[in-house]
Amino acid sequence: MLSERELAELKKGLLDMVVLYLLDGEDKYSYQLRQEMINRSQNRFVVTSAALYTVLYRLEREGCLSSRADHGITRDRIYYHLEPPGKAILQELIAAYNTIHSGIRSIAGDVIQEE
């Protein structure tokens, strides 16, 4: 059985793609992103807030995302926006993922489940 660390490493490799995908078309704040990951994956892709913030900050530094503060009545929220370089990276990540997924299916297709 995979350890928590091994599972975290596997998710870590996909987190950039998931974050960029969820921001494609709509700005979101970190809690929204995390909840959407949990809900849309039916609790199969859960990451810590710390892991999410690490990715958000790095993608912003790299110019893939921008952020803006929304000063609400009860709390401030930082909304993240997908920038054109991030959109290009997303397309590259999706293409790479599809290639890898196809290769794995060719190797172990008899045990890989498709939904």
- 14-31: per-residue pLDDT in tens? 999 999 999 999 999 999
User: Which pLDDT score is estimated for 115?
Assistant: 64
Q: Is residue 51 part of a domain?
A: yes
Q: Is residue 4 part of a domain?
A: no
Token pair belonging to 59 = 């993608």
Q: Is residue 87 part of a domain?
A: yes
User: Which pLDDT score is estimated for 84?
Assistant: 98
User: Which pLDDT score is estimated for 37?
Assistant: 95
Q: Is residue 114 part of a domain?
A: no
Q: Is residue 6 part of a domain?
A: no
Residue written as token pair 């920038």: 83
Token pair belonging to 21 = 């995908």
- 47-96: per-residue pLDDT in tens? 999 999 999 999 999 999 999 998 877 888 999 999 999 999 999 999 99
Using DSSP's 3-state secondary structure scheme, residue 12 falls into helix
Q: How far apart are the first and last CA of the chain?
A: 22
**Would you place residue 5 in the very low, low, confident or very high pLDDT band (cuts 50, 70, 90)?**
confident
Q: Is residue 47 part of a domain?
A: yes
82 and 33 Cβ atoms separated by less than 8 Å:
no
Residue written as token pair 């975290």: 8
Q: Is residue 36 part of a domain?
A: yes
Domain count, the chain: 1
Selection from 36, 11, 6, 12 nearest residue 22 by Cα: 36
83 and 63 Cβ atoms separated by less than 8 Å:
yes
CATH of the domain at 49: 1.10.10.10
pTM of the predicted structure, to 2 decimals:
0.87
Q: Is residue 34 part of a domain?
A: yes
Domain limits at 60? 11-104
